[in-house]
Structure 1
Amino acid sequence: MSDNTKKFDDQEYTISIMGKHIEITNPIRAYVEEKIGKIESLSTHIIDIKVSLDVQKLNHSVDIIMKFSHFKIKVHAITEDLYSSIDKAFGRLYTKLRKWKSRIQDHHAKGVSVTEMEVNVLEHAEHEIEEISQEIIDENNRAVEEAYALPKVIKQKRRPLKILTIEEAVMKMELSNDNFMVYRSEEEQALKVIYRRRDGSYGVMSPA
């Protein structure tokens, strides 16, 4: 793994290049950093860029996570050649930035309103498992043990909940490739969950 801090237009951000089943050589690092240099002009307020390289037999895969301001972009590419995979992954990153550049700029100009959302952290209740373990052993039924291993709330946290329009929510989903996101609707001031459907379209749910 290699990390370094880069400066662009008086901004500093971190570049992390990680290898799995592959050594990150100086030529590989230089090639990745050259690609990063070509996307800097498309985005401001970069926080960090993580590039993960993995080699599994003939498959050379590249994953990129780019964080900037209020956004996160994820891309993935896989080919039979490492440098081709790097080209393909950065090509997809470049395409996403170009596609959403004007809307991202509008989003930055507007500013992001946030509220707080309470998040419960769950943990398996081990003491409850112990209390019923003898019954489970007697019945010799592993499925029952798993059924009794119910989670419990061990602490609560508060996380920022962004207030977005439906267009902004879709943009964030497109950039991040996440499967779902919770946000507060700017139009209705209601809690919403946007999720990715199997066919690539999006669904939006809100509590009744």
Structure 2
Amino acid sequence: MQVRITGRGVDVTDFLKEYAEKKLSKMTRYFDRILDASVVFEMEGNAPQVEITLDANGVILRGVERAENFQAALDFAIDKIEKQLRRFKDRLSRKYKVNIPHEEVAPLLEEHPEEEPKIVKVKRFQLKPMFPEEAIMQMDLLGHDFFVFLNAETNQVNVVYRRKDGNYGLIEPAL
């Protein structure tokens, strides 16, 4: 597994780098085909935040946590990723009705692509040009967690979404 550790606006100590690598190396007990791991340390407001992204043979797992210090935030993010990996493995076990050793999970994904989830509903709607602020208001009025709209400023399809921290995000296509 290739591990990239970076700091956004903070210096990551050697201790934190070694600690992160040690914790990530233990992830293979859940899934041995983790190809890539990215760990980003940053300050979000006054709180240390750690963001971990894993590429487990095409399955992307992500954990973002804040705590009173970087080590605790890393531990919380690792716990979140471990839960995701266990849940993923359990779903595969239930799907194939057998107990699957962790080293066999990825080949099953490759062998049975026809059993992937299917699109069961297609929704078509007119895209009304609006500004992101209007889209957020519309999303809130509908009670949705995201909203697709035609951005009046860029004339491109965008998505606004509600973040876990209570703020909003905007997804724009990069062409």
TM score, norm. by length of structure 1:
0.48
- Contact (CA 8 Å) 1:64, 1:89: kept in 2 or not? yes
**Does 1:22 find its partner at 2:10?**
yes
Aligned equivalents of 1:81 and 1:65: distance in 2? 19
Spell out, residue by residue over 1:96-149, the C-alpha distance to the aligned partner (whole angstroms, 9 max, x if none): 1112213346563444479xxxxxxxxxxxxxxxxxxxxxxxxxxxxxxxxxxx
- Contact (CA 8 Å) 1:58, 1:80: kept in 2 or not? no
Aligned equivalents of 2:9 and 2:17: distance in 1? 15
- Partner of 1:33, secondary structure, is helix
Aligned equivalents of 2:60 and 2:106: distance in 1? 14
Residue in structure 1 matched with residue 116 of structure 2 by the alignment: 165
**Structure 2 CA distance for partners of 1:102 and 1:57, relative to 1, 3 Å:** closer
Residue in structure 2 matched with residue 108 of structure 1 by the alignment: 106
Aligned equivalents of 1:38 and 1:192: distance in 2? 41
TM score, norm. by length of structure 2:
0.56
Residue in structure 1 matched with residue 32 of structure 2 by the alignment: 44
**Structure 2 CA distance for partners of 1:14 and 1:191, relative to 1, 3 Å:** farther
Aligned equivalents of 2:77 and 2:89: distance in 1? 18
**Does 1:198 find its partner at 2:145?**
yes
Spell out, residue by residue over 1:124-183, the C-alpha distance to the aligned partner (whole angstroms, 9 max, x if none): xxxxxxxxxxxxxxxxxxxxxxxxxxxxxxxxxxxxxx75533xxxxxxxxxxxxxxxxx
**Structure 2 CA distance for partners of 1:44 and 1:191, relative to 1, 3 Å:** farther
Deviation at 1:56, TM superposition (A): 4.2
Deviation at 1:44, TM superposition (A): 2.0
Spell out, residue by residue over 1:52-106, the C-alpha distance to the aligned partner (whole angstroms, 9 max, x if none): 0002452101111100113110111012211110111001011111122133465
Aligned equivalents of 1:23 and 1:109: distance in 2? 39
2:82 to 86, 94, 97: 94
Q: Which runs of 5+ in 2 are unaligned?
A: 97-104, 124-143, 147-161, 163-175
Residue in structure 1 matched with residue 55 of structure 2 by the alignment: 67
In the alignment, residue 198 of structure 1 is paired with which amino acid? D
**Structure 2 CA distance for partners of 1:49 and 1:192, relative to 1, 3 Å:** farther
- Partner of 2:16, secondary structure, is helix
Pairwise CA RMSD: 3.2
Q: How many residues align?
A: 117
Identity over the aligned pairs, expressed in percent? 16
- Partner of 2:11, secondary structure, is coil
- Larger displacement relative to structure 2 (49-58 or 24-33): 49-58
Deviation at 1:26, TM superposition (A): 1.0
